[in-house]
Amino acid sequence: MADTTGTSPAANCLEKLKSYAKTPKGFILAAEIILSLIVLICYAASYYGGYSAVAIVQMVFAIVFFVIYMMELDKQFRVVHWVWSDFFRAVIGAALYIITSLICVIGGAGDGARIAGGVFGLIAGLLFAYDTYTTYLQLKSSRQETAASTDGRV
């Protein structure tokens, strides 16, 4: 008979997903993924689908960072400075979303899906900007901890 008391790897991954999504960073990344999906759907339904590239790229990067932080791979792979990488991802995402969304909202007369994508894109841009701010605070606090630590040498 099979032992049913052990936890399966899929259940363990699902528990990690649930617990990480409840953290502040996990909630922000999950919201970025959902908003990017909404923007992607709106842009895909519009007459000009070329703006969907920003939503696709930012959604993929948000999923990658969500998985990396959820599985705690950032603690295993120390070659990449994950906080700085996340900071640049959020800065670029905020800038691209705000620029493309303003273009879509201003020039989207007669295309309701493009205007809706632009409005959701502006919200996503603000969320990415907030993610940039929280990541900046994390970088600032880690820099102060590094500068404050001394080893006792004169």
124 occurs within a structural domain: yes
pLDDT at 1 > cutoff 60: no
User: pTM value?
Assistant: 0.85
122 occurs within a structural domain: yes
Tens of pLDDT, residue by residue over 52-84, are 999 999 999 999 999 999 999 988 988 989 999
Burial of 40 (0-12, 13-18, 19+ CB in 10 A): buried
80 occurs within a structural domain: yes
Domain count, the chain: 1
70 occurs within a structural domain: yes
The percent of residues above 90 in pLDDT, for the chain, comes to 68
46 occurs within a structural domain: yes
**DSSP line for the chain:** ----SSPPHHHHHHHHHHHHHTSHHHHHHHHHHHHHHHHHHHHHHSS-GGGHHHHHHHHHHHHHHHHHHHTTTTTT-TTS-HHHHHHHHHHHHHHHHHHHHHHHHHH-TT-HHHHHHHHHHHHHHHHHHHHHHHHHHHHHHHHHHHHH---S--
Kindly list the distances between the CA atom of residue 23 and the CA atoms of 16, 28, 29, 69, 96, in Å, as whole numbers in the listed order. 11, 9, 10, 11, 26
Confidence of residue 150 (pLDDT cuts 50, 70, 90): low
What long-range pairs does 66-69 form, CB within 8 A, spacing at least 24? Answer: 66/20, 66/26, 66/29, 66/30, 66/33, 69/20, 69/25, 69/26, 69/29
Tens of pLDDT, residue by residue over 100-125, are 999 999 988 888 999 999 999 999 99
Enclosing domain of residue 131? 17-140
**CA 45, CA 27: separation in Å to the nearest integer?**
27
What's the whole-number average pLDDT of the chain?
89
